[in-house]
Chains A and B, each alone.
Chain A
């Protein structure tokens, strides 16, 4: 059976060119970049080249790039490091209800330590109201943290406008851009962000490497102590192979930005149009405006059925997607993003995300459109909620479905 991978927002395979570039750093050039001898000197150049590649990709200068181990570390460092350094100025953070857990749970942990956090709500399409944000700002506000694009819905947030608000009130601005980089243009100058986080494995570099952009002059307390690496910003011997891979992946993503966008967007639109045409009783999650969504992401709920059983069913056909259903996450509650958008519980349980990547081909989309409608129908036939025979006046479920 041919495998069809449509879960690029979860992770992506390492690009062959990237892997090739990384290999010498395991054996031939194994040195520690902090060493003064030949072995160390051998790799110093590669480290700084990777820093330049990442910097150029987001329009930063190399000295503003700090390599970390993953996106979650970057987010933790941005938030905890900022609050640590700005203790004297205030103790209030503004973020959103749809952030990745790396931001959300970091904020929740800080609340327990006495910090104040405002979680901005989103509307039913997952969009933010920037007036709410401005109103939430107080004298004690020291950090605004809003993701560039949402991992579940693909919604792209108005980062430039948020950056302008943050500047106006002289508040530090952090954005988790893990899902955005490589998929849409990201420019730290235009967006006026102070801290921006990138994860390697979402853009064809390996897992275990990431980067954080720290605008020049941004004071931070370090998350890890114990070394002078990364200009004292992050202790620990650099993951040389990973960093070299991240650098090249960024350079390639930058060069292919436009062609990637158009190609993947065409495939996603084809999938979206197909699902809408072929499957009745569905709800699209996220903004209906496709320009304001990542070009690769489609999130859709299928009324009457549960997400995990759909995923497993698709898996039998070799199709990999993901779900906001509680049953896939190990918890009992459906995704917090669906909850924040007030998606009805049943629909949240059936929310299914297809995220395409550079290696997705048209035949794969055709296959999904062939398999999906029948699979959904079969699961609906099994569901006591489908054609339940009750009228919508006295049946809560029917009313839920009618609200789609």
Chain B
């Protein structure tokens, strides 16, 4: 197997499969909360139910007493489901507190998950959110009133535009999760949400994963970045005026590059900027030797590309 599971994952998985005492496989009848996440197309599905001890007057003070799951999925999906139920039961949480349980909590409980398996923990957290939303409806609790910051899974998410066809992942869901989980690259999206892990067509398609990332976080220049029509359009939009471009480069040199070079006995001076070419003068020891001069130039260019615009070139005069 190309990855290694933690001992905790294997232990929970085996205990669950053997049906040992204290494990949570099953489905509660007339559950107070019911949530499902995943689909068979994705290769994993979790059906999650919980029961509460009802508070006589205040439903927000209900306590989760029992949690159960049915899971179709790999070892880590089953272990993550087991982790979710154990965590909730052990900590006697109210459903509102349970909403604060994140996929990271599940990962920590499992002593880590392989990168490519992060989506198993996300599946657990999603099913939990849906179950709490179900509980809220049943108990007449207005979630938005109590926890205005959380955005429980929206029904429209299932009906939004499908971005990743292989795993039927929709745009509204992606937008929410990219922000919620702080996903900054396509690989991170695939590990956490599976999206983009199949045919890869949606990676750089218009309205695809890269576009969603760019819209969420702003355009991130990347040295391996391939210019696609969509990103070219994004570039055009983000085009700086020559004045602003000059300001940004000047600031970068003053604040970051020059202090670094000074430490090595060198200095740099901005001479001019024309059509994505940045003309610089180097002084100090680097200008004496060709190899060092070239290395310094490449490093400066890399920093300017990374922080300002990936089309910029540095020319030493």
Report A's interface with B, CB cutoff 8 A.
304-309, 312-313, 316, 325-334, 345-346, 349, 375, 378-379, 381-385, 396-397, 400
Contact = CB atoms under 8 A, between A and B. Distances in A.
B152 interface: no
B40 A333 contact: no
- The 8 A-B pairs at the shortest CB distance, nearest first, are namely A332-B197, A327-B74, A384-B70, A308-B74, A384-B47, A330-B2, A383-B72, A346-B40
B198 A333 contact: yes
B116 interface: yes
Contacts, number: 87
Given A333-B166, A333-B197, A333-B198, A384 B72 contact: yes
B231 to A, nearest CB: 21
A384 B74 contact: no
Interface in B168-197: 190, 194, 197
A309 B13 contact: yes
A306 B74 contact: yes
B44 interface: yes
Contacts of A378: 17-19
24 contacts: A305-B72, A308-B74, A309-B13, A309-B75, A309-B78, A312-B13, A313-B17, A325-B74, A326-B43, A327-B73, A332-B116, A332-B194, A333-B166, A345-B40, A345-B41, A346-B43, A346-B72, A378-B19, A379-B17, A381-B25, A382-B17, A383-B72, A384-B47, A400-B40
Interface in B24-71: 25, 27, 36, 40-41, 43-47, 70-71
Given A334-B43, A379-B17, A383-B70, A308 B75 contact: yes
A334 B47 CA distance: 22
A104 to B, nearest CB: 15
Contacts of B3: 330
Interface residues of B, number: 35
A382 B2 contact: no
B317 interface: no
A309 B16 CA distance: 11
Contact of B73 (A306, A316, A381): A306
Contact of B72 (A306, A312, A333, A396): A306
B256 interface: no
A333 B10 CA distance: 23
Contacts of A330: 2-3, 116
A193 B16 CA distance: 52
B1 A306 contact: no
Nearest to A329: B2
B75 A349 contact: no
Contacts of B18: 378
A326 B70 CA distance: 20
Nearest to B197: A332
Given A306-B74, A378-B19, A382-B16, A332 B1 contact: no
A312 B43 CA distance: 17
A397 B36 CA distance: 15
Which DSSP category, helix, strand, loop or mixed, fits chain B's interface? mixed
Contacts of B19: 378
Given A328-B2, A333-B197, 17 more contacts: A306-B44, A306-B72, A308-B1, A309-B73, A309-B77, A325-B74, A327-B74, A327-B75, A330-B3, A345-B41, A346-B40, A378-B19, A382-B71, A384-B47, A384-B71, A384-B72, A400-B40
Interface string B101-127: 000000000000000100000000000
Contacts of B72: 304-306, 346, 382-385
Nearest to A389: B27
A40 B75 CA distance: 53
A385 B36 CA distance: 12
Contacts of A307: 74
Nearest to B191: A332
A385 B45 contact: yes
B167 interface: yes
B137 interface: no
B240 interface: no
Contacts of B77: 306, 309
A327 B17 contact: no
B1 to A, nearest CB: 6
B230 interface: no
B6 to A, nearest CB: 13
A378 B167 CA distance: 27
B198 A316 contact: no
A142 B122 CA distance: 49
Nearest to A333: B198
Given A330-B3, A333-B166, A397 B40 contact: yes
Residue among B36, B74, B166 with the highest chain A CB neighbour number at 10 A: B74
A256 B198 CA distance: 43
Given A328-B1, A332-B43, A332-B190, A382 B197 contact: no
Contact of B25 (A326, A332, A382, A400): A382
Contacts of A306: 43-44, 72-74, 77
A34 B78 CA distance: 57
A123 B14 CA distance: 38
Contacts of A383: 70-72
A150 to B, nearest CB: 22
Contacts of B70: 382-384
A333 B166 CA distance: 9
A198 to B, nearest CB: 26
B84 to A, nearest CB: 14
Contacts of B116: 330, 332
Nearest to B82: A382
Contacts of A345: 40-41, 43
Nearest to A328: B1
Nearest to A332: B197
Contacts of B197: 331-333
A381 B2 CA distance: 28
Contact of B78 (A329, A331, A346, A382): A382
